[in-house]
């Protein structure tokens, strides 16, 4: 009997489970080591002598700061050594079955960002304020989209329709702002348009139990078709209805004069300020309020939530509507914040990238926002490379956030699991 028990404990299935656990525990050290070695290679060993000048000033700020001159490849060696040290520490933690602290992972990422900036700007001047403000602008619709996805998926409804919600908000805001001459009425119209798209998602997903991913894809195609049709009609017959006033830029007195931070955080349009407020407000609401507790309960274990008196499907319905309102507001960035007019399919897949940022951020508002900023930063790096005449292929920089996201979703930097009941309709017995 003892022999049988021993053999059962050492069964192939048991060994396989142990091996899978061991493999998971070493994924993070492996990835960090690869990136640290890449930093040593590209930022240091292959770097020609020279320097990169970091310009911290902005034309609209009255205070001037002295530029930073970083020598090459010395800066690369410093970044590589610290990165290798963090990677080595992650191996030590993995052996004792512990995880790398989040702050160290952030330090590792920041070092890589600095290394990329210094390498791209070799023997040139890098306008940091321009780089950061451009990053924040490009990440704004992604942050709105990822927050919209978070509100929906935290209650168990997969929101593939973020793309359609953003596009509907962009179209509605341009049309209403052109008609009324008021961009803020355009913002309200965009919120309503996003909610109308969410009604379709909620009805089919929650009421009729249709596969949520399929519904989301169909909604995206529907919104693309409708906006293309109305755009063609307006462009041919009433082009004045696609000439909206843009959001005014508001600068907060005194704070707007702070170097770097002033233009970045305190000189924005209304949609920029809403984005900056949205992340901390949602973080507090999701984890510190009764609404957030009920939302997470419905998304993780709807039957248990129903048992304690939470109305599961109404909770899901209203949260999906809120999701559409957030995405609709984010869609106004394209028309009233950036371009100043609506164009066919102008969101260009930003909704899907926002969904990837949400998964990368493990369904947490702060981490999802950081992931969205990573995409915005990579996009702006391409512009920087062109501006300073870098020899590094822009295609290489464009693929970096996508590679990191794939690694994250695959579990190489920790398991990324959504709410347990996500995508599963609740059918009350």
- Domain positions in the chain: 18-123, 140-362
Centroid of chain to Cα 235: 33
User: What is the pLDDT at residue 286?
Assistant: 95
Averaged pLDDT, groups of 10, the chain, 429 residues long: 42 48 68 92 91 82 81 94 95 87 88 90 89 92 96 94 96 95 96 96 93 94 95 89 93 87 91 95 96 94 92 95 97 92 91 90 91 87 82 73 65 66 84
**CA dist., res. 263 & res. 273, Å (int):** 12
User: What is the pLDDT at residue 257?
Assistant: 85
User: What is the pLDDT at residue 14?
Assistant: 47
Global pTM value: 0.88
């Amino acid at each position: 009997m003892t022999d049988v028990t021993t053999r059962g404990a050492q069964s192939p299935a048991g060994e396989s489970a142990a091996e899978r656990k061991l493999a998971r525990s070493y994924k993070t050290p492996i990835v960090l080591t690869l990136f640290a070695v890449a930093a040593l290679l590209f930022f240091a060993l292959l770097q020609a002598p020279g320097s990169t000048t970091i310009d911290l000033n902005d034309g609209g700020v009255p205070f001037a700061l002295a530029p930073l001159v970083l020598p090459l490849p010395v800066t690369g060696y410093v970044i590589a050594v610290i990165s290798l040290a963090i990677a080595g520490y992650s191996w030590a933690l993995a052996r004792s079955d512990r995880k790398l602290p989040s702050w160290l992972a952030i330090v590792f990422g920041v070092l890589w960002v600095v290394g990329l900036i210094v390498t791209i700007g070799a023997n040139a001047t890098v306008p940091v304020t321009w780089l950061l403000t451009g990053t924040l602008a490009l990440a704004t619709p992604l942050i709105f989209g990822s927050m919209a996805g978070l509100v929906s998926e935290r209650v168990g409804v997969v929101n593939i329709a973020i793309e359609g919600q953003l596009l509907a908000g962009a179209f509605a805001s341009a049309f209403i702002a052109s008609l009324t001459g008021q961009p803020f009425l355009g913002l309200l119209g965009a919120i309503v348009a996003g909610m109308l798209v969410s009604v379709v998602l909620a009805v089919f997903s929650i009421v009729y139990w249709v596969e949520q991913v399929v519904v989301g894809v169909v909604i995206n195609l529907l919104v693309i078709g409708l906006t293309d049709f109305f755009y063609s009609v307006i462009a041919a017959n009433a082009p004045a209805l696609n000439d909206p006033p843009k959001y005014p830029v508001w600068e907060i007195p005194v704070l707007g004069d702070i170097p770097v931070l002033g233009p970045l955080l305190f000189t924005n349009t209304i949609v920029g300020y809403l984005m900056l407020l949205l992340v901390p407000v949602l973080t507090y609401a999701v984890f510190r309020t009764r609404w957030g507790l009920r939302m997470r309960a419905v998304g993780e274990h709807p039957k248990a939530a129903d048992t304690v008196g939470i109305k599961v499907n109404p909770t899901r319905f209203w949260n999906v509507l809120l999701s559409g309102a957030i995405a609709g507001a984010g869609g106004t960035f394209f028309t009233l914040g950036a371009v100043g007019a609506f164009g066919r399919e102008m969101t260009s897949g930003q909704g899907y990238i926002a969904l990837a940022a949400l998964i990368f951020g493990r369904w947490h508002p702060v981490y999802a926002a950081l992931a969205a900023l990573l995409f915005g930063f990579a996009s702006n790096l391409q512009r920087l490379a062109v501006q300073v005449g870098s020899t590094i292929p822009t295609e290489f920089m464009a693929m970096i956030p996508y590679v990191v996201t794939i690694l994250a979703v695959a579990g190489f930097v920790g398991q990324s699991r959504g709410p347990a009941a996500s995508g599963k309709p609740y059918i009350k017995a």
